[in-house]
Amino acid sequence: MRRLMLPGIVAFWLAAPLLAMAEPEIPEAAINDKAKLLGPRKAAYLMRQLDLTEQQAAHAQGLIDSILPSDEQVPINVNEVRQIWKQIEQAKATDDQAKVDELTQQLQQMGKEATGDAEFYDNIAAQLSAEQKQKLAAAQARLERNPSGALRPIDLLRAAWELSPTAEQTTRLWTVQEEMRKMLYPILRPNMELKLRLINFIHDETRAVLTPEQRAKWDVRVRALRPDLLDQGLRVKPPEPAQTDPPTEE
């Protein structure tokens, strides 16, 4: 049975130069929270959480391609709409018709984008099971809190909790979670290097707690949560097995 790292060892490991670390399982692109998921990328991210059938995935991809053609789509912001209307009134007061036309076109475009977004989710909901609808609602709630979809250490642990761990596994997972809390508590704004080390530490320690069967399910769930893998399609596939060199003949 693998033992968890002691806090002192963890602190030393986190402080060591990043270059000394082997290629991490979780790359920087998976945890980068600077870019908000919009339009088709947001839709693809949500669809990857639902364990779609091949038919559902094909239907969803068709809707994404036809209804959500731009990554620049965003939900309508009521305050922004009010501000634009205020600018329109000001432009009218100064007889600036060109500005009025420009702002009116901007409002129309916002309406088209919101309509496309609503049309996609209304259409796809009709294809989902009750369980998938619950998963979609949970995934949408997650993006409300984390608009980038960036993978976080707590996501790794939550994915493990979903696998009905045994009493012994539960104790070990709580230990991992407590170590994570201790690492993060004194750091207000961890830099990317530290974030990368931390999430790979939590990844390795959490994965070590699981049985092979649980690990296979957990791997798929973690891959679904990674925004850097969106280009792999709407159905999440398990990771490729590690390549081993064939034995050399002596």
Give yes or no for residue 204 having a pLDDT over 80: yes
Q: Does the residue 160 lie in any domain? A: yes
Residues 215-225: tens digit of each pLDDT: 999 999 999 99
Question: What is the extent of the structural domain holding 55?
Answer: 42-147
How many domains does the chain contain in total?
2
* 201 lies in some domain: yes
Kindly report, residue by residue over 95-135, the tens digit of the pLDDT: 888 887 887 777 666 555 555 577 788 889 989 999 999 99
For residues 225 and 128, membership in a common domain is answered with: no
d(CA 46, CA 225): 9
CB 42 within 8 A of CB 143: yes
The mean per-residue pLDDT over the stretch 1-28 comes to 55
Question: Are both 65 and 107 inside the same structural domain?
Answer: yes
Q: Which of these, 242, 162, 244, 157, lies nearest to 207 by C-alpha position?
A: 157
| SS3 assignment, position 222 | helix
Judgement on whether residues 171 and 221 belong to the same structural domain of the protein: yes
Residue 1 lies in a domain: no
Q: Is the domain of 56 the same as that of 120?
A: yes
Q: For residue 205, is it within any domain?
A: yes
Same domain, 125 and 165: no
Question: Looking at the structure, do residues 139 and 46 belong to the same domain, yes or no?
Answer: yes
Residues 77 and 125 in one domain: yes
Cα–Cα dist 38/119, whole Å: 15
